[in-house]
């Protein structure tokens, strides 16, 4: 057999091992791992580089409706472009069901938006905001069978939040179908109470976004979500965990034997609430929920990644432009309450985790691969097709230059935003080549593929639910 591509001379890293070997690729898949592969139509020199499974960013938002007059800065072309340049080969955005709408219809719209536009592969989580009898009884079971095997629910936001009974009803469907529930855990009433107090006393600057949703807001909801999942008897992913107390709820549940999975994100490792305290509306650039906290929270999130309380590391890429078209709403509503919640980061995720984590000795190279690729693939039903370097897997590969130094600017990321919250960070380690199913899509900071190479991936059940279904 003549191989299409051989990646030669690199150091392959998986979630389990680091080894010197070449990678042979045929028809978009890895077909050979060997010491010295010579017969191939194309040879990629990986000497001195790490050969990693392409990143899987299991938590991104693209082209999602965000309220009147607010448009996300990324469509599927720009969002997947930034992913590719940042070494990520699969993303999992959310399809948001607005109240009163059929989930099937909503999914069709997202498929239409993504079709032919993507540089990397894509699959969809669903956001359930309206758990009608029709959705719970008919539509969701059919959609899970069709490969939409995860859904996110919210405990806060006027238009999205479910009450405890609704959460239990959704969890029961997950239990019965093998789907995996992800939860945004913040206490709605507590946030409203605090927001009204802030506004009544004129505290409306962006920094009060963080004050209006302090750690107990998240800790309480995290514990409640875990309890509801225990009662409904289903595994649960707590997404975007920001601090020690929420992490301790997850660890407590895991020690108790509950199948609770934790995710943390870039912003909780490197930003703090002080970043929201800039001149004028500058702080709006850092408004996301939960908000970045303090140094001890950062430390706790690193601990969570190192010890396995968190097995998922995502960007929560949620892109809004910092101008009158988006991050600041056009009607001149300048209270923090109106600033859309979310910050961009799909392209910066791997470099920041590598530089701050692996280079600084906080996590191992294998943990880096596990939390950015292998675990997301297993958790969301893409493994072993995605998330590892093994014979039979898709040839989704990122070549990593561990020595390359860069002072990060928004220009390096090429998303649709007009800023990065990580501007000026000194980074060591950078992806120098990204390959999706055997085709190079980005090389040395430039896009080389054409949009449309990325395909939609229907998914299997999660490794966490499969045994139960
Ligand atoms: N939740 C997210 O997952 N992303 C952005 C904002 C939010 O509330
Ligand atoms: Zn959320
Ligand atoms: Zn998110
Ligand atoms: Zn950006």
Tell me the DSSP string of 14-34. -SS-EEE-EEEEETTEEEEEE
Which atom number of ligand 1 is nearest to the Cα of residue 186? 8
Whether residue 7 is found in the same domain as residue 70: no
Please report the ipTM that was assigned to this predicted complex: 0.91
CA 218 to ligand 3 centroid distance, Å: 15
Q: Does the N-terminal peptide bond of residue 160 adopt cis geometry, omega within 30 degrees of 0?
A: no
Which atom number of ligand 1 is nearest to the Cα of residue 157? 8
Check residue 69 and give its pLDDT.
78
**DSSP-assigned beta bridge partners for residue 200:** none
The pLDDT confidence band at residue 339, using thresholds 50, 70 and 90, is very high
161 touches ligand 1 (CB under 6 Å):
no
263 touches ligand 1 (CB under 6 Å):
no
pTM reported for the whole predicted model: 0.98
Residue 468 lies in a domain: no
CA 445 to ligand 4 centroid distance, Å: 15
What tokens appear for 26 in the block?
Answer: 């045929």
Whether residue 61 is found in the same domain as residue 28: no
Give the angle 251-57-14 at the CA atoms, nearest 5°: 75
- Count: domains in the chain: 2
Whether residue 426 is found in the same domain as residue 285: no
CATH number of the domain at 163, please: 3.20.20.140
CB atoms under 10 Å from CB of 47, counted, come to: 8
Whether residue 245 is found in the same domain as residue 201: yes
Whether residue 86 is found in the same domain as residue 29: no
CATH number of the domain at 424, please: 2.30.40.10
Of all protein residues, whose CA lies closest to atom 8 belonging to ligand 1?
A: 289
**Which whole-number Å values give the CA distances from 232 to 171, 173, 229, 308, in the listed order?**
6, 9, 5, 24
Ligand 1 mutation target, pool 57, 60, 79, 240, most atoms within 8 A of CB: 240
CA 31 to ligand 3 centroid distance, Å: 35
Chain centroid offset of residue 75 CA: 16
Strands (E), 286-383: 310-314
The pLDDT confidence band at residue 468, using thresholds 50, 70 and 90, is confident
Which residues, 6+ apart, have CB-to-CB distance to 301 below 8 Å?
241, 242, 243, 247, 264, 268, 269, 310
341 touches ligand 1 (CB under 6 Å):
yes
Residue 380 lies in a domain: no
Q: Look at the alpha carbons of 346, 351, 353, 356 in this order and tell me if their dihedral is positive or negative.
A: negative
Closest of 139, 151, 146 to residue 175, by C-alpha? 151
3-class secondary-structure state, position 62: coil
Helix, strand, coil proportions of the chain in percent (round to 5)? 35, 25, 40
Whether residue 72 is found in the same domain as residue 44: no
The pLDDT confidence band at residue 151, using thresholds 50, 70 and 90, is very high
Of all protein residues, whose CA lies closest to atom 3 belonging to ligand 1?
A: 316
Whole-number CA gyration radius for the chain = 21
**Neighbouring residues of the ion ligand 3, judged by CB less than 5 Å:** 316
Q: Does the N-terminal peptide bond of residue 35 adopt cis geometry, omega within 30 degrees of 0?
A: no
Residue in the structure block whose two tokens are 């069901």: 97
The pLDDT confidence band at residue 469, using thresholds 50, 70 and 90, is low
Whether residue 134 is found in the same domain as residue 78: yes
**DSSP-assigned beta bridge partners for residue 90:** 56, 121
Residue 387 lies in a domain: no
412 touches ligand 1 (CB under 6 Å):
no
Indicate whether 134 pLDDT > 80: yes
CA 460 to ligand 2 centroid distance, Å: 23
318 touches ligand 1 (CB under 6 Å):
yes
The four Cα atoms 275, 276, 282, 288 give a dihedral, to 10 degrees, of 110
Whether residue 271 is found in the same domain as residue 361: yes
283 touches ligand 1 (CB under 6 Å):
no
| Domain termination residue (choose one: 327, 352, 370) | 370
Residue 349 lies in a domain: yes
Domain that holds residue 46: 3-52+396-447
Cα distance between residue 271 and residue 287, in whole Å: 11
CA 145 to ligand 4 centroid distance, Å: 36
240 touches ligand 1 (CB under 6 Å):
yes
Whether residue 32 is found in the same domain as residue 60: no
Whether residue 46 is found in the same domain as residue 66: no
Side-chain half-sphere exposure of 146, counting CA atoms within 13 A: 15
CA 147 to ligand 2 centroid distance, Å: 22
| Domain termination residue (choose one: 370, 405, 437) | 370
Indicate whether 11 pLDDT > 60: yes
The pLDDT confidence band at residue 415, using thresholds 50, 70 and 90, is very high
Residue 35 lies in a domain: yes
Whether residue 345 is found in the same domain as residue 361: yes
| Domain termination residue (choose one: 333, 355, 370) | 370
- Whether the CB-CB separation of 360 and 324 falls below 8 Å is answered with no
Measure the N-to-C terminal CA separation of the chain; round to a whole number of Å.
40
**pLDDT tens by residue, 28-51:** 999 999 999 999 999 999 999 999
Of all protein residues, whose CA lies closest to atom 1 belonging to ligand 1?
A: 289
Residue 390 lies in a domain: no
Residue 267 lies in a domain: yes
Whether residue 8 is found in the same domain as residue 59: no
Residue 190 lies in a domain: yes
Q: How many residues does the chain have?
A: 469
**DSSP-assigned beta bridge partners for residue 23:** 7, 33
In our burial notation (b when 16+ CB lie closer than 10 A, e otherwise), range 178-193 reads bbbbbbbbbbbebbee
184 touches ligand 1 (CB under 6 Å):
yes
CA 239 to ligand 2 centroid distance, Å: 7
Ligand nearest to the CA of 157: 1
């Amino acid at each position: 057999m003549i191989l299409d591509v051989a990646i030669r001379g690199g150091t392959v890293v998986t979630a389990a091992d680091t080894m010197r070997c070449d990678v042979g690729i045929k028809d978009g898949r890895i077909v050979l791992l060997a010491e010295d592969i010579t017969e191939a139509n194309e040879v990629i020199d990986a000497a001195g580089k790490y050969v990693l499974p392409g990143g899987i960013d299991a938590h991104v938002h693209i082209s999602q409706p965000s309220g009147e007059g607010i448009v996300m800065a990324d469509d599927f072309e720009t969002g997947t472009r930034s992913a590719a340049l940042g070494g990520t080969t699969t993303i999992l955005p959310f399809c948001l069901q607005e109240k009163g709408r059929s989930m099937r219809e909503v999914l069709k719209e997202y498929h239409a938006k993504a079709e032919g536009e993507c540089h990397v592969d894509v699959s969809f989580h669903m956001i359930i905001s309206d758990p009608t009898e029709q959705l719970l009884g008919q539509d969701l079971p059919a959609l899970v069978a069709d490969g939409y095997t995860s859904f996110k629910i919210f405990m806060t936001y006027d238009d999205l939040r479910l009450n405890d009974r609704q959460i239990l009803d959704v969890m029961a469907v997950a239990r019965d179908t093998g789907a995996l529930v992800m939860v945004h855990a913040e206490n709605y009433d507590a946030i409203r109470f605090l927001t009204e107090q802030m506004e009544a006393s004129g505290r409306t600057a962006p920094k009060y976004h963080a004050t209006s949703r302090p750690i107990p807001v998240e800790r309480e909801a995290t514990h409640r979500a875990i309890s509801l999942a225990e009662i409904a008897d289903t595994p649960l992913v707590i997404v975007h965990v920001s601090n020690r107390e929420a992490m301790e709820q997850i660890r407590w549940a895991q020690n108790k034997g509950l199948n609770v999975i934790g995710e943390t994100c870039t912003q909780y490792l490197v930003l703090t609430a002080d970043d929201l305290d800039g001149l004028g509306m500058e702080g709006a650039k850092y408004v996301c929920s939960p908000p970045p906290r303090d140094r001890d929270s950062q430390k706790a999130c690193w601990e969570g990644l190192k010890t396995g309380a968190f097995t998922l590391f995502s960007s929560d890429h949620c892109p809004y432009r910092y101008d009158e078209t988006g991050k600041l709403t056009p009607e001149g509503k300048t209270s923090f309450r109106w600033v859309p919640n979310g910050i961009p980061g799909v392209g910066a995720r791997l470099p920041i985790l590598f530089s701050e984590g692996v280079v600084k000795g906080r996590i191992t190279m294998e943990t880096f691969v596990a939390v950015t690729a292998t675990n997301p693939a297993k958790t969301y039903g893409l493994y072993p097709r995605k998330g590892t370097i093994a014979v039979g897997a898709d040839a989704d590969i990122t070549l990593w230059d561990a020595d390359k130094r860069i002072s990060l600017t928004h220009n390096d990321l090429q998303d649709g935003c007009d800023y990065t919250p990580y501007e000026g960070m000194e980074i060591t380690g950078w992806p120098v080549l990204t390959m999706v199913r055997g085709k190079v899509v980005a090389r040395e900071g430039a896009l080389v593929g054409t949009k449309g190479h990325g395909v939609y991936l229907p998914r299997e059940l999660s490794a966490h639910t499969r045994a139960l279904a």
